[in-house]
Structure formats: structure tokens, C-alpha cells
Structure 1
Amino acid sequence: MPMPRSQQVCLDDTPYYHCVARCVRRAFLCGEDSFTGTSYEHRRSWVESRLLFLASVFSIDVCAYAVMTNHLHVVLHIDSDSAKNWSVFEVLERWHRLHKGTSFTQQYVGGGTLPAYVIALAEAAAETYRARLIDLSWFMKELNEPIARKANAEDKCTGHFWEGRFKSQALLDEAAVMACMAYVDLNPIRSGISETPEDSDFTSIKKRVVAVKAKHQPKALYPFVGNPRTGSPNGLPFELVDYLVLLDMTGRIVKAGKRGSIDVSLLPILQRLNISSENWLCIATEFEARTGSVVGQELSIDHYCESHQRQCNRKSIKLLA
């Protein structure tokens, strides 16, 4: 029986999650149907645009994503602290970018003198919306449902477009986050869709590479900020240049189909994350197959299982130890 989503997502354990949404009925998210010859490539832009739009509304950051032929990968960071500091007005304004809200919330945002009961009802609604704007299930719902409606309309059919539940994995530490991001960013190469990361259309890695050429980081994605320190902005605790080099070298090895030693220039970042070169290559190419609902190093997994009274998944531990 699938684990309830409420038990899979716990911000006390980690704010990072890997989510995968898959199509049903041999539906195509994008790509070309070899049976009919119909191309669905234009749907890639639907997904990317909606995903990055939601990142500007929710207090959920996009770390990595890849739009594949019949599924979607996203690595997300939930920023609950930022949402707590939003005013009632900001919460309602954000929610109204998704839905109309209620007549009371519309009146509140409209300004002017309002009766006390209208203010109270609007503020109560805002707290409900605030909770939704840091909720992983709501984020994926707001991503998947509009895409499903558009795809069904285009296909002239009804019924489910996505599987009933999206898959989610809790990424418990820096090693798990880095490995999962690399797996997602290299997915198009591993699947034979693209030759290089920078040529992988509608992916986070291409967006980052394009931004690097312009000497900045993409505003729509969660930034790399290097080693955390007092006063530093929120972001991924790695250097972007380290990640790009690591990804490029890993991608070359994946493309060549080899499992040999990794270039020596990769050792510093892998040593810092306590991942061996052999284990890195294995998990960066087979992340989903080799990991369970929670991913991390041995200490992280032990702490998680103890606090949740669950049996540890030793398969996940071995790969990241």
C-alpha cells in the first residue's frame, strides 16, 4: 500500500524532494509517437512555463527539472520560512494568480474600508492559502491539472492523463540532493534525447548554462550559493562551477557506457560529500532504481528512521555511504 503523502513529506527532516509525474494510457507528454507519427514537442513549453510560473507563486523553489517523453522530473526546495513572513495581502495576491479566491479575499485585496467580519474571513482564508503555498501536493496538483486539461483537449479525449499519484522522494542531506539533481539533469542524455547537457531543451541544466554565459544565475531556479555562511543568501550549498564540471564529466562517462574511474578533478567535491567515485556514477545514472522513498547517507537515514519509527532502507544507504 502506498505511504500517505503526509508521512512522506516532513519539513523537520528536509526541505528537499524529488518528484516524478508519469503519463498513463501510453499518453505522450512530449516527443513523437512512433505509432502515429504525431509530434507532441510543443507540450514541453507548456510544462516548463507552468513549472517556472508556479515557482514564482509558491514558496517552493525549483532546483532541477527535466521534461521527458512520458514523464517529468523535478527537484524542489520548500521554503516555509519565507512563507511565514508574507503579509495577508501578499498571500492573497499570490493565490489570486492561481484562483479567484472568495468574494471576501477579493474585497480585501481591492482595498478600502471593510467590515470587521470581511477582514476576519479574508485573513482566515489567507492562512489556508499560506499552508497550500508550501504544500508539495498542491504544487504538483497546480502543475499537472492544467497540463492534463490541455493535453486531453488536444487529444480529443477524457480521463486521466497522469498517474493518480506522483512519486516523491525525501532528499535528507547534501549528498542526496547533489546526486538527485545530477540524475535529473542527465536524464535526457541517458535516454538518448540529447547529446550534451547544454543541448537538453526544456531542462534546468540548459537554463543554467545559458545564464552562466551571460554571467548570472537564472532567477527562476534555486541558485547555487557555495558553502553556507552567516549572512549568505538562501540557495544550494555548492559552487555552480563545481556542479557543472561534475555533471559534464559524469555525462561523458554515461554517454560512453563506461563505469571506470572518474577524472581526478572531480574528487574534491565528491570527498566533501562523502561519496566514492564508483558510488557516484552508479547513483547518478540509476537514482530511481537504486533508491527508496528517502535518500541520504547512513547517519541521515538512521536519524530519519528512528524519528519516524520506520525500518531503514539499507539499499539507499549503501550507495551514498
Structure 2
Amino acid sequence: MTLPRSTQISLDATPYYHCVSRCVRRAFLCGRDAKSGKDYEHRRRWIEARMHKLASIFALDIAAYAVMSNHTHIVLYIDTYTANSWSTIEIIERWQQLFKGSALSQRYLRGEALDAVELEKLQEVTSLWRERLVDISWFMRCLNESIARQANAEDNCTGRFWEGRFKSQALLDERALAACLAYVDLNPIRAGIAKTPEESNYTSIQQRIHTAISGQQPKSLLPLVGGERRDMPKGLPFQLDHYLELVDWSGRQLHPKKRGAIPENIPPILNRLGISPKHWLYLNRNFESRFKRLVGSAEAVRQVCAQQNKRWVHGLRDCQRFLSPTPC
């Protein structure tokens, strides 16, 4: 049974969510269709550009993404702190980059005087917009509807472009987060359309590698800021060099001729997260299929179930096996 999105996304549990959207019938509507010979590769650029544009408007940061031929992966970070700091005028300006707004909001931006009743009504509307600008469902709606309209206009047709609702997974702890980030970044390599992470077009890992060469991080992505500490800045709790090493190492193990050839020196991040190399490689191939809505250690999943009054959750046994700390 399909559950309401509100029951699948809880900021009390985690600010990180993995979202997946697939094209209808899983057709190659964003890449090259081998059967018809048509090339829709430019639509992947549409998705990437729209995704980054929306991230600059919403209080949502992109932690990882991969735009494939027939589906997209996005890992989002919900930044409620930033959303709560926005002034009324900031909310209106952001919202009206996406929608027309209201007569009151347009008058307010023009500097026209509003009476007390109108100001109260404007505050109600902007409070609603503030909530929507930190809402993953609204982000995905603004992304997917826009791409569907563009594609249908190009094809001179109507109808669905995406398969219904997007799929979302809550990433409850560092283990789940690290495994999901690498899973998303390695999509092109698993699919056989790229040989290395730096050649993986339309992915976050390609962006991170290109900017890392100059000692920087992409401004359009949530940065990697290192492990948990006092006064920690906003960002992913991993070191950039460790994460790039981990993705590179994982990608080499995914190669058919080298699968399972685990090197002696395991990347530091695996030791810190307490994940065995064997389980890590399995997660890099099967993350999306093995887990449903809640992903993390068994203890983390049980805690969220207790908070949400859930008696059972799919995939708890796999969380215990693959994402719970391994004994030293």
C-alpha cells in the first residue's frame, strides 16, 4: 500500500533523503534509444541544470546525484535552519522565481503599503511558502513537472514522462549516508557507460573531482567537511580525499574482471564507519533494491519506528547485516 509522503519524511529522524525518479516504462527518454536510434542525451543536461537551479531557490542542498538514461538519483539535505532565517521578502523573491505568487506578494515587492489585514494574510501565505521551500515533495514536483513539459513539447505529445511518484529513502546515520552517496556516484560505472568516476557525466562525483584538482569543492553541492566535531560547519561528515578514494576504490571492485579483489589497505572511512569491505561492495551494487524507506543501522531504524509508532519496517534484517557496526 502506498504511504503518504508525510509519513516517509521526518526531520526528527534525519535531514538526508535519497530520491529516485524513473521514466515511464523505464524507456530511454533521457539518453540514446538503441532501438529507435533517437538521441535524447540533451535532456540529461535539462535535468542537471534544473536540479541546480531549484537547489539555489529551495532550502535543500544536493549531496549527490546521477542523471541516467531512464532515471535520476538525488541525495538531498534539508536545511531548516536556513529556511527559518529567511525574511518575508526573501521568501517571496524565492517563491516567485518558480510561481507567479499572489497579488499581495507582488504589491509587497513593489513597495506598496499594505494594511494590517493584508499584512496578516501575507504572513499566512509566506509561512506556507516557507514550508514548501524546505519540502522535498515540492522540490521533486518542480523538477519533474518542468522536465516532463519540456520533453512532451519537444516530442509534440501529451501524457506521462515519469512513473508516478518518486521513491524516497531516509538515510538515518553515517553508514547509510556513505553507502548511498557512493551508490549514486557509481551508477554510470555499474551501467557500463563510464570507465572512471571523472568520466561519469551528469554526476556529482564528476563535479567533485574536477573542482578537487584545484583544491576546491563545487559551490552547487553540499561540501564534505570532515568528521563530527564542535562548531562543525554545514556539510557531509566525511573528508573529501577519503571519500574520493573510497569511490575510486569501490568503482575498481565493481569492474567484472576485478570484482572481489580487495586491496590490503582499506580506505579509512570504512574503518571509521565499521563496515566490512565485503558488505560495502554489496551495498554499492544493491543499495536501492535492498532497502525501502528507512536506511541505517538496525538500532537507528528501531528508534525511528518507535518515534513514528511503526511496528514493522521492510529491510530491518538487511540493516542489521550490512549497516550495523561490525565488531572490532
- 1:112 Cα deviation (Å)? 3.9
Unmatched 5+ stretches in structure 2: none
* 1:261/1:278 contact within 8 Å kept: no
Please give the TM-score of this superposition, normalised by the length of structure 1. Answer: 0.96
- Structure 2 distance, partners of 1:29, 1:171, is 29
Name the structure 1 match of 2:269: 269
Opposite residue 45 of structure 1, the aligned amino acid is: R
Alignment length (residue pairs): 321
Q: CA deviation at 1:132?
A: 0.3
What is the CA–CA distance in structure 1 between the aligned matches of 2:232 and 2:267, rounded to whole Å?
A: 26
2:88 corresponds to: 88
Q: For the residues of structure 2 that align with 1:56 and 1:144, how far apart are their CA atoms?
A: 17
For normalisation by structure 2, the TM-score amounts to 0.94
- 1:310 matches 2:292: no
Q: Tell me, what secondary structure is at the counterpart of 1:128?
A: helix
Per the alignment, residue 201 of structure 1 pairs with 201
Whole-Å separation in 2 of the counterparts to 1:95 and 1:320 = 39
In structure 1, what is the Cα distance between the partners aligned to 2:25 and 2:39? 17
Instruction: Quote the residue 1:120 is aligned against.
Output: 120
Q: The residue matched to 1:222 in structure 2 has which SS?
A: coil
Distance across 1 between alignment mates of 2:266 and 2:116: 61
Q: CA deviation at 1:262?
A: 2.9
Please give the residue correspondences for 1:44-123 in structure 2 after superposition, counting only pairs within 5 Å.
Answer: 44-123=44-123
Deviating above 4 A after TM superposition, structure 1's stretches of 4 or more consecutive aligned residues are: none
Aligned to 2:21: 21
Partner of 1:285: 285
Query: What are the ranges of 5 or more consecutive residues in structure 1 without an aligned counterpart?
Result: none
Kindly provide the CA deviation profile for residues 26-52 of structure 1, in whole angstroms up to 9, marking residues without a partner as x: 543421111211100100110000000
**Matched AA of 1:183:** Y
**Contact 2:26 2:71 (8 Å CA) reproduced:** no
Equivalent AA in structure 1 for residue 2 of structure 2 = P
Name the aligned partner's letter for residue 323 of structure 2: L
The answer for the alignment partner of 1:221 in structure 2 is: 221
Deviation larger for 61-70 or 298-307: 298-307
Distance 1:49 1:259 in 2: 34
Distance 2:294 2:209 in 1: 29
Tell me whether 269-278 or 246-255 shows the greater mean CA deviation. 269-278
1:178 and 2:168 are equivalent in the alignment? no
Structure 2 residue identity aligned to 1:311: W
Provide the secondary structure at the position in 1 that maps to 2:227.
coil
Contact 1:189 1:195 in 2 (8 A): yes
Moved more, 281-290 or 238-247: 281-290
Offset of residue 266 of structure 1:
2.7
Q: CA 1:110–1:230 in structure 2 vs 1: closer, same or farther (change >3 Å)? A: farther
CA distance in 2, matches of 1:122, 1:98: 18
Q: Deviations over 1:241-295 (max 9, x none)?
A: 0000000010001023544253343343112111111111100121112222111
Instruction: Give me the whole-angstrom Cα distance separating, in 2, the residues matched to 1:239 and 1:263.
Output: 21
- SS of 2:72 mapped into structure 1: strand
CA distance in 1, matches of 2:322, 2:95: 41
What secondary structure, in the 3-state scheme, does the structure 2 residue paired with 1:286 have? helix
- What CA deviation, in whole Å up to 9, does each residue of 1:41-97 have, x standing for no partner? 100110000000111000011000001111000011101121111111111111111
> In 1, distance between residues paired with 2:63 and 2:311?
28
Superposed displacement of residue 317, structure 1? 2.6
Does 267-276 or 71-80 show the bigger shift?
A: 267-276
Query: Per-residue deviation at 1:229?
Result: 2.3
Which residue of 1 is the match for residue 297 of structure 2?
297
